[in-house]
Structure 1
Amino acid sequence: MRTESTTVRNANMFWDIAADLLLPDDFDSTGKYPAVIAVHPIGSCKEQTAGNVYGRALADAGFVVIAFDASFQGKSGGTPRYIEDPTQRVEDVRRVIDHLVTLHYVDAERIGVLGVCGGGAYSINAAMTEKRIKAVVSITGVNFGRLSREGFAGYRPLDALEAMAEQRTLEARGGATRTDDLLPNSVEEAERNGVTDRDVLEATDYYKTPRGRTRGGATSALFSHRAAAIGWDAFLNAETFMTQPLLVVTGDRPGGFGAYRDGLEIHGRAASADKELLVLPGVTHYELYDQPEPVRQALESAVPFFEKYLSRDT
């Protein structure tokens, strides 16, 4: 697999999107390839699971893959930093497609998207109104809007919105910003503080240790800019607009972030005539990030799925 850094530029944006192009070993620039956009989790970056695990595997399978950093995160532009804005995340996918269709070796009629965690639900939401996407794979996808209203708001979303409004006014008047780390500093610290939720503990083990830690994967969020996510829903109107072939992969050991619940919900609601649900027994949310056996099982479905729906004959 070859990796090339690229920059997604657009005259209508005030910043660039950083991305890696992952190319097959036998890449021939005179050919025409199907392409897959890799969308990273919440508070993550292109060098983590969506890019270095799933993106790499898809490139090895013969796809051109573009793994990008969300606006305000990683190496992409946008200020202030550490904003997780769902509407902008979906717009980022559109901008990346705008870039892909200018590459002479990409077949514009064979573009798919694969997302992990929050990226999985963003991919589904983008596909509802972005019909240049021809196939969608969600790996342990999480509806960030639901999570923002529930666990991330302490199940008190109106109180959270009031606090965010006060903080934003404070910052607009020159006060100090508030950036929250969404995870404990370590698993040991979490356990000492009585944390028992599987997803929080496993996320900490992934993001806060050499297993998954990278400079761009900050797991941080600017508190004053989190209000937009509370009023957003990844699956809104899925019964009407989610029409492309869809593969949903999740484990059956649920945690507090809700991937199992969200996976079953979107599989049931999507209007897609061709949709598949793969529930992996005994597998947790974060095992699907990078653990060899769950990842192997996910890819054994994802690769043939993309081969089928991004083929020249589709």
Structure 2
Amino acid sequence: METVKFRNSGMYWDIAADLYFPPGFDKARQYPAVISAHPIGSCKEQTAGNVYGKALAEAGFVVIAFDRSTQGGSGGEPRYIEDPALAVEDFRHVVDYLVTLPYVDADRIGVLGICGGGGYAINITMTERRIKALASITGVNYGRLCREGFSGHDPIGQMEAMARQRTAEARGEALQVDLFVPPSLDAVAEAGITDVDVVGATDYYRNRCVNDGAGTRALFSHRPSSIGWDAFHLAETLLTTPMIVVMGDKPGGFGAYRDGQEIYGRAASRHKEIVVVEGASHYELYDQPGPVGKALEGVVPFFRKHLAA
């Protein structure tokens, strides 16, 4: 593995990324490449890199797992902005970097995204035609989630509150940074929370894969654009790239099962696959060997076929 930084050509900061290489890697050869995108509030060292990035490299691909702007090791201020437009453009800059690497075949680039990263991967693939294959792992339409669960099903009231907070911050008051994930499983129990996704997120980020680079938070005043965004907009027309959608059959509050079924039905792709992992929840597809193995049983052959690995 190699850690790199490269300039986000549309902005003024660097993108941090980890490159994973196949066994027996030879710089004189050209390889198919896969961009691996981390979940909302996560970082490149978590499931995008240490699980799916590593596995796909072992299967013969060069993999790049990157931190989105304002998150993890990447630049950008203020920190912890979860802006879909900015996030989606980051993918384009990662492609720009990959096509400069002599050992990457520019005609064989795919993308894989987990959770909100899956929604972003779906969205960028509609307009970034250098991406030739798409995999969504328990992908979530972040805009839909922000309009529903993350706003208490009151998106207008939430945006009004965001507007007041942004005005306050412009006048010098402190930033409001909200946690996506409770601080501990004890806090989840004390609050009486039983939703499988919230419990799973807390266990993953606070216990199973703790990483200082994972923000698991967002700047409240900069989130109205998320409420007005839709990862699947124009999928019936523009999403023609080969696609595989993976999700578990234990639905939770973040809605990956629902979103996976929706995008599979709506996508214009002639070559599309769906894998429903029996007995798996959203966060079990992040790192648990059984569910991850089932996901890879679909994803690895899919990428080999469509990237001609």
TM-score range, shorter chain: over 0.9
Is the aligned partner of 1:264 residue 2:266? no
Q: Name the CA distance, whole Å, in 2 between partners of 1:231 and 1:10.
A: 25
Residue type of the alignment partner of 1:218: G
Number of residue-to-residue matches in the alignment: 309
Q: Name the CA distance, whole Å, in 2 between partners of 1:33 and 1:281.
A: 33
SS of equivalent residue, structure 2 residue 278: strand
Shift of 1:12: 3.3
Residue type of the alignment partner of 1:251: G
Q: What is the aligned partner in structure 2 of residue 306 from structure 1? A: 303
Residues 17 and 64, structure 2, Cα contact 8 Å, conserved in 1: yes
Q: Name the CA distance, whole Å, in 1 between partners of 2:10 and 2:295.
A: 37
Shift of 1:25: 2.2
TM-score, normalised with respect to structure 2: 0.99
Is the aligned partner of 1:175 residue 2:173? yes
> Which structure 2 residues correspond to residues 100-249 of structure 1 after superposition, within 5 A?
100-209=98-207, 211-249=208-246
Is the aligned partner of 1:79 residue 2:77? yes
Q: Name the CA distance, whole Å, in 2 between partners of 1:302 and 1:8.
A: 28
RMSD: 0.8
Q: 2:280 aligns with which of 277, 280, 283?
A: 283
Render the CA deviation track for 1:47-91: whole Å, top value 9, x for unaligned: 000111000000011100000001000000000001111111110
Residues 9 and 93, structure 2, Cα contact 8 Å, conserved in 1: no
Shift of 1:10: 4.0
Q: What is the aligned partner in structure 2 of residue 34 from structure 1? A: 32
Q: Which moved more, 1:287-296 or 1:174-183?
A: 174-183
Q: Name the CA distance, whole Å, in 1 between partners of 2:187 and 2:5.
A: 38
Residue type of the alignment partner of 1:240: T
Shift of 1:34: 0.2
Q: Name the CA distance, whole Å, in 2 between partners of 1:236 and 1:10.
A: 25
Residue type of the alignment partner of 2:164: E
Residue type of the alignment partner of 1:136: L
Alignment CA distance shift 1:254-1:33 (3 Å): same
Between the two proteins, what is the percent identity of the paired residues? 64
Residue type of the alignment partner of 1:145: G
Q: Which runs of 5+ in 2 are unaligned?
A: none
Residues 22 and 61, structure 2, Cα contact 8 Å, conserved in 1: yes
TM-score, normalised with respect to structure 1: 0.97
Residue type of the alignment partner of 1:207: Y
SS of equivalent residue, structure 2 residue 304: helix
Residue type of the alignment partner of 1:170: A
Shift of 1:281: 1.2
Q: What is the aligned partner in structure 2 of residue 19 from structure 1? A: 17
SS of equivalent residue, structure 2 residue 63: strand
Residues 181 and 201, structure 2, Cα contact 8 Å, conserved in 1: yes
Render the CA deviation track for 1:177-197: whole Å, top value 9, x for unaligned: 100111111112111111111
Q: Name the CA distance, whole Å, in 2 between partners of 1:220 and 1:136.
A: 27
Residue type of the alignment partner of 1:47: E
Q: What is the aligned partner in structure 2 of residue 294 from structure 1? A: 291
Render the CA deviation track for 1:146-170: whole Å, top value 9, x for unaligned: 0000000000000000000010111
State the 4+ residue runs in structure 1 displaced beyond 2 angstroms: none
Render the CA deviation track for 1:201-228: whole Å, top value 9, x for unaligned: 110000011x111011120110001111
Q: Name the CA distance, whole Å, in 2 between partners of 1:8 and 1:35.
A: 17
Residues 109 and 131, structure 2, Cα contact 8 Å, conserved in 1: yes
Residue type of the alignment partner of 1:167: Q
Residues 67 and 73, structure 2, Cα contact 8 Å, conserved in 1: yes
Q: Name the CA distance, whole Å, in 1 between partners of 2:12 and 2:215.
A: 23
Is the aligned partner of 1:61 residue 2:59? yes
Q: Which runs of 5+ in 1 are unaligned?
A: none
Q: Name the CA distance, whole Å, in 2 between partners of 1:180 and 1:119.
A: 19
